[in-house]
Chains A and B, each alone.
Chain A
Amino acid sequence: MKLTVWTYEGPPHVGAMRVATAMKGLHYVLHAPQGDTYADLLFTMIERRNHRPPVSYTTFQARDLGADTANLFKTACKEAVERFDPQAIIVGASCTAELIQDDPGGMAETMDLGIPVIPLELPSYQRKENFGADETLFQIVRTLAQPQERTSRISCNILGPTALGFRARDNVEEITGLLSELGVQVNVVAPLNATPADIARLPAAHFNVLLYPETGEAAARWLEKTHDQSYTSVLPIGVGGTRDFIAEIARLSGKPVARDESRLRLPWWSSSVDSTYLTGKRVFLFGDGSHVMAMARVARDEMGFEVVGMGCYNREMARPLRAMAKDYGVAPLITDDYLEVEAAIEAAAPEMILGTQMERHIGKRLGIPCAVISAPVHVQDFPARYSPVMGFEGANVLFDTLIHPLVMGLEEHLLAMFREDFEFHDAAGPSHHGAKAQARVDSADASGGSLPAKMKDNGVPLPDAVTDENVVWLSDAERELKKIPFFVRGKARRNTETFAIEKGINQISVETLYEAKAHYAR
């Protein structure tokens, strides 16, 4: 047993869901207990998908444990095929079903469903989410890909982008555009938006672009071995990475390519005098191996930072990451325990963290600025706007992403230095932010209760009309007010005072507080 609080990766069947949800015309029948549907909300909420993931769960319960679970699986399988009419199905077990040994693959294969059935063996107690995605894509490709002629024009496949992939949507668009400028057509993107019929066409491409090694490498290797398709080894992240990637495309496509850098702004932005203060900023990198390695190069060679630590949570990338860390003269950190990451960051004392959402929280706790460069990420890192991190536009996006927390960091520093200054008092917040920065919550009392009575919660003196000297908060009411969450407390205070003045009440009691609450109820 291993004591765990936060996990960087989900179980392997979540990886399989990422592949199934990325694809169209494919359905996943998952032998799983009630409750495992929680993973649906990763897709509907974090990625904001407008459809349910194409996953049917058998939902077995305690009373089914016995002979009945196998029948539940068969029924679920039959109903899913009838209802969703997929071109192919993948079938497998979640961690609990793995223990009851029903063999979903074997059962589905005997059911004669009339479509390809792809059984998945995902060892839940040894492997994790990325493995699940990689293995699932591999099994799908292995089952469905058909030998065929190469396309007449030079073409490639893009392998690895999945649902819940870090910036996968926009990276695919950016790289498709880049390849098109280089005269290379995209044959199939897989698994993102591919159908099983598209998977069958994979071998028609001349070579493969492996965009996400964590989730596409097994398929890329198999296609190389079986269909003689080479695959790219460089990730087009940052200026150098993208240029190397283009050189690799030239080699794989066998023709010279002219690159168009007219939209690339990172090199000038980074060279301009405004960026001088970035020199030697100490950064710590943590995330999935591929992104950390690519971003370390961006950080050192393109931003002029000093890399003071790097690590990854996926053991699959441990070897290349260790080699790179040696080059950079730092100790590699291979762990999936966020407390170890926190300790390493504390020890390295960087000025900036490039990491996942966990590192964002670590940064918040330690007061270190952080930019997110890798999954797992939260809803804010599935933005509405176009924001690739690959290719030349991706480099532009990265420059902005990496300096914004620092600008704010500097501003925060100024605010702290001039804390007593009337223009820079604690509650003033950064100048270019609409909302004020909340003071850190260090104790149960986050009310800002020490502010002078005549200040509102945002520290601005109340205008005269409202600062009626007669309106006072009785201590009970003040206490009650503090029970309201801090982010709406200011509004509650304001509403109550306005209400009191309107009613000519000069002592705010608990009663007044709730009268006002009722008055403003919506």
Chain B
Amino acid sequence: MNAPLAPANGGCRTAPVLKERGQREVFCGLTGIIWLHRKMQDAFFLVVGSRTCAHLLQSAAGVMIFAEPRFGTAILEETDLAGMADAQVEIDRVVEQLLARRPDIRQLFLVGSCPSEVIKIDLHKAAERLSAKHAPHVRILNYSGSGIETTFTEGEDAALACMVPVLPETDARQLLVVGALPDVVEDQMLGLLKAMGIETVTCLPAQRIDGETGVGPNTVFALAQPFLGETHAALERRGARHLPAPMPFGDEGTTAWLHAIATEFGVSEEVFAAVTDAPRARARKAIAQASEHLRGKSIFFFPDSQLEIPLARFLTRECGMTAIEVGSPYIHDAIHGPDLDLLPAGPQISEGQDVEKQLDRARAARADLTVCGLGLANPLEAEGLATKWAIELVFTPVHFYEQAGDLAGLFSRPLRRKSLLKLEAAE
């Protein structure tokens, strides 16, 4: 009774996917730093890149300016482009400067960018060398957040994947929950699992390097975010086993996600119901209220974060919306499959982007609500389309039961606002 019913008309798992290439209106993976550095409180993210990279981070960080932010850019200069031998020396110098300034830093990520990848600066070598030098106080890792290789949330994937090989080996029977979640959401999740009697639960990323857990053949892992393809593969290489499940959005998603874990750990249906019945009822009630303006409305998703498919599943099944197109930058069958199974057939599923063609489709569809990035939102509003800007869904607590009403509210607010504003003359 806890397994969600597959849609009568079949799901979308086998639906034909429109694959497009062309201009993409998306962020690069460097953007992941903005929320990852808040989660990992002893980490510093040093981008090796150009002024463009620094400018992007600053634009994306917006008002999130801190006295001492834990990210920065080593901006490549003319002299760095001339000779490759210097690059490693330069990185050492910048890292020394940084660590002297910030002795509280325990993990340092050297983050590759388009310029550093194109001129092939070996950040892996730099990370190994610097790790040896600064061990045991500071661990230095590297990953690429470049636009040529990663899209938006894939930056988090790349960061977590680079941590997997250095996690300590363990034989303990344990659950590893993967994906950076807001603290309040993480606590709720741990509370629910604990109430079911599942005690050995750890998170990747952990808040601090010391709190980090190991991985091994008796580890099972659940993904709390859908954009973790590389991390999924890296964990499997370490012998851990994935628990496939829909993403924990809404009542259904959260229940199915928890149920997959409960089944794995042999939790009885009675205990499961005792733990989840009350929060489920609350979630359903909150969703019902918050989705009042969503019922019967259509929605169009531009690709952004890979959250699109599970969100479309939540909005269609639990809020009564109809999806017209669900665009995702990438689709991984192993990860998005369970959500695609539940998404009622009908919408065009698209992977990748040719933004001009997709805009033509969005204009033709004139959905009641269009989910897109900030570069498109105001221009589409000016064309009379109501929009919901997608990046908010990555920053705001939206997972699990207690946030289910808020999640629906994020989508209903633009529609409520559109109906509230009366800007024409009274006559």
- In the complex, besides A5-B73, A35-B151, A514-B279, 5 extra interface pairs with C-beta distance below 8 angstroms are A34-B148, A99-B81, A521-B408, A522-B405, A522-B416
- The residues in A between 26 and 46 inclusive whose CB is less than 8 angstroms from any CB of B are 33-42, 44-45
Residues from chain B with Cβ under 8 Å of A521 in the complex: 285-287, 289-290, 405-406, 408-409
Interface assignment of B200: CB less than 8 Å from any CB of chain A: no
Name the 4 nearest CB pairs between A and B, nearest first. Answer: A35-B28, A35-B147, A521-B405, A40-B375
- The residues in B between 92 and 136 inclusive whose CB is less than 8 angstroms from any CB of A are 93-94, 97-98, 114-115, 117-119
- The residues in B between 364 and 402 inclusive whose CB is less than 8 angstroms from any CB of A are 373-379, 381-382, 402
Interface assignment of B5: CB less than 8 Å from any CB of chain A: no
Interface assignment of B350: CB less than 8 Å from any CB of chain A: no
B90, A65: Cβ atoms under 8 Å?
no
A484, B184: Cβ atoms under 8 Å?
yes
Interface assignment of B55: CB less than 8 Å from any CB of chain A: yes
Q: Which residue of A lies closest to B407 (CB)?
A: A521
- The residues in B between 59 and 86 inclusive whose CB is less than 8 angstroms from any CB of A are 59-60, 62-63, 65, 67, 69, 71-78, 80-81
Q: A33-B28, A99-B115 are in contact. Are A124 and B74 (CB under 8 A)?
A: no
Which of A3, A42, A61, A94 sits near B52, CB closer than 8 Å? A94
Q: A6-B65, A61-B149 are in contact. Are A517 and B75 (CB under 8 A)?
A: no
Which of B90, B147, B409 sits near A34, CB closer than 8 Å? B147
CA distance A59 to B58 in the complex (A): 21
Residues from chain A with Cβ under 8 Å of B67 in the complex: 365
Q: A7-B51, A52-B379, A79-B356 are in contact. Are A35 and B56 (CB under 8 A)?
A: yes
CA distance A427 to B313 in the complex (A): 45
Residues from chain B with Cβ under 8 Å of A60 in the complex: 148
Residues of chain B having any CB pair with chain A under 8 Å: 22-31, 48, 50-52, 54-56, 58-60, 62-63, 65, 67, 69, 71-78, 80-81, 90-91, 93-94, 97-98, 114-115, 117-119, 146-149, 151, 183-184, 187, 278-279, 282-283, 285-287, 289-290, 356, 373-379, 381-382, 402, 405-406, 408-409, 412-413, 416
A125, B77: Cβ atoms under 8 Å?
yes
A324 CB to closest chain B CB (Å) equals 28
Q: A41-B375, A95-B52, A522-B409 are in contact. Are A56 and B23 (CB under 8 A)?
A: yes
Q: A41-B375, A517-B286, A521-B290 are in contact. Are A35 and B114 (CB under 8 A)?
A: yes
Which of A4, A34, A52, A62 sits near B73, CB closer than 8 Å? A4
Interface assignment of A361: CB less than 8 Å from any CB of chain B: yes
A interface size (C-beta, 8 A): 65
CA distance A58 to B24 in the complex (A): 9
B28, A83: Cβ atoms under 8 Å?
no
Residues from chain A with Cβ under 8 Å of B91 in the complex: 1
Q: A59-B24, A484-B184 are in contact. Are A41 and B75 (CB under 8 A)?
A: no
- The residues in A between 356 and 370 inclusive whose CB is less than 8 angstroms from any CB of B are 358, 361, 365
Q: A361-B65, A511-B278 are in contact. Are A35 and B409 (CB under 8 A)?
A: no
CA distance A332 to B35 in the complex (A): 37
B69, A33: Cβ atoms under 8 Å?
no
A1, B183: Cβ atoms under 8 Å?
no
Chosen A-B contacts, 19 in total, with CB atoms closer than 8 Å, are A1-B75, A1-B76, A2-B74, A2-B77, A3-B73, A7-B51, A9-B51, A10-B51, A34-B148, A35-B114, A37-B375, A41-B59, A42-B59, A50-B378, A61-B147, A64-B148, A96-B118, A378-B62, A522-B289
A11, B55: Cβ atoms under 8 Å?
yes
A128, B51: Cβ atoms under 8 Å?
yes
Residues from chain A with Cβ under 8 Å of B51 in the complex: 4, 7, 9-11, 95, 124, 128
Residues from chain A with Cβ under 8 Å of B118 in the complex: 65, 96, 99-100
Which of B59, B283, B289, B382 sits near A38, CB closer than 8 Å? B59
Q: A61-B149, A76-B23 are in contact. Are A514 and B80 (CB under 8 A)?
A: no
CA distance A518 to B60 in the complex (A): 31
Q: A52-B375, A99-B115 are in contact. Are A37 and B24 (CB under 8 A)?
A: yes
A33, B148: Cβ atoms under 8 Å?
yes
Which of A51, A83, A95 sits near B356, CB closer than 8 Å? A83
Query: Which of B60, B97, B114 counts the most chain A CB atoms within 10 A?
Result: B114
CA distance A77 to B247 in the complex (A): 40
CA distance A128 to B65 in the complex (A): 22
CA distance A38 to B379 in the complex (A): 15
B114, A1: Cβ atoms under 8 Å?
no
Interface assignment of A259: CB less than 8 Å from any CB of chain B: no
Please, what's the 1-or-0 string for A110-140, where 1 marks a CB less than 8 Å from any CB in chain B? 0000000000000011101000000000000
Residues from chain A with Cβ under 8 Å of B409 in the complex: 521-522
A125, B148: Cβ atoms under 8 Å?
no
A33, B146: Cβ atoms under 8 Å?
yes
Interface assignment of A207: CB less than 8 Å from any CB of chain B: no
Q: Which residue of A lies closest to B61 (CB)?
A: A6
B117, A3: Cβ atoms under 8 Å?
no
A194 CB to closest chain B CB (Å) equals 21
Q: Which residue of A lies closest to B284 (CB)?
A: A518
A125, B375: Cβ atoms under 8 Å?
no
Interface assignment of A515: CB less than 8 Å from any CB of chain B: yes
Residues from chain B with Cβ under 8 Å of A51 in the complex: 379, 382
A57, B23: Cβ atoms under 8 Å?
yes
A367 CB to closest chain B CB (Å) equals 12
Query: Which of B55, B60, B412 counts the most chain A CB atoms within 10 A?
Result: B55
Please, what's the 1-or-0 string for A479-508, where 1 marks a CB less than 8 Å from any CB in chain B? 010011000000000000000000000000
